[in-house]
Structure 1
Amino acid sequence: MRFLNQAQYQITGIDKQKLGIKIKSIRLRLSYNLADFGQLFDPPASASNVSRWERGLNIPNKKRLKIIADLAGITVTELLKGGE
């Protein structure tokens, strides 16, 4: 990751669509709806935000990526680039 500033970052070589599919798979495997999954984060993510991640429109910030990876029992690198 190349950090632009504390609020923004850029990740290169990431297939946002595949990442979204992985996030959705993790959420469904854990039996969370969009709203409840969003409540796992501090600050919470809205259901629409989670939906945007899953559709590959946005990428969660690094703190949220770490939480998602931890929930799946994988590393952030595996979440971003590897298989689940």
Structure 2
Amino acid sequence: MIIINLQLRTLRRKRGQTIKQVSDALGGTVSADLLSKYERGEREAGYQVLISLADYYRVSVDEILGHDPKPANTLGQKIRELRLAQNLSMEEFIERIDGKPGKGRSGTVNNWEKGKNRPNKMRLKRIAQIAGVEPDEFLKGGDSSQ
């Protein structure tokens, strides 16, 4: 299942919009501050807000909730979705995880995303922190055999 905050961020970024632009497009019914909190996973959007956002993005509420017919069901797919939602290159992503320059290390992330190998426990913990969830939650619903 797609993490709701990441899905909201991905939908907004696909349109190339800022949080303020989305808030304005919704007629100010949802403040930019509140939208930001939804995207960071600090607040949960109520059903009426989800309906408004789904209408605005022209998707179903189910898709925002992660009930997409093509959910990310592998760890690699989840890592890729998280990286893209954060608008990070593979090198920037590994740098954020390891806290040291990622230059020349994009192959590590590429291998995770393709399911060729998986991050060690320390890196998985950092990836989950970036996603704003517990490591077990990040693995939930996916193929943990990767």
> Would you say same fold, with TM above 0.5?
yes
**Higher relative strand content:** 1
Tell me which of 83, 88, 92 is aligned to 1:32.
Answer: 88
How does 1:1-84 map onto structure 2 within 5 Å? 18-40=74-96, 41-42=98-99, 46-82=105-141
- Return the alpha-carbon distance in structure 2 between the equivalents of residues 44 and 21 of structure 1: 24
C-alpha distance in 2, partners of 1:60/1:44?
Answer: 17
Larger radius of gyration: 2
Q: How high is the sequence identity, in percent, across the aligned residues?
A: 42
Deviations 1:19-65 (A, max 9, x none): 00000000000010011111111466610000000011111000100
Q: State the number of aligned residues.
A: 67
Amino acid at match of 1:50: V
Instruction: Pick the structure with more helix per residue.
Output: 2
Structure having greater relative contact order (Cα 8 Å, sep ≥ 6): 1
Structure 1 segments (4+ residues) deviating >2 Å: 42-45
**2:120, 2:101 → 1: CA distance?**
12
When the two chains are superposed, the root-mean-square deviation of aligned CA atoms in Å is: 1.9
| AA matched with 2:131 | A
Instruction: Please state how far the C-alpha of 1:82 moved relative to its aligned partner.
Output: 3.4
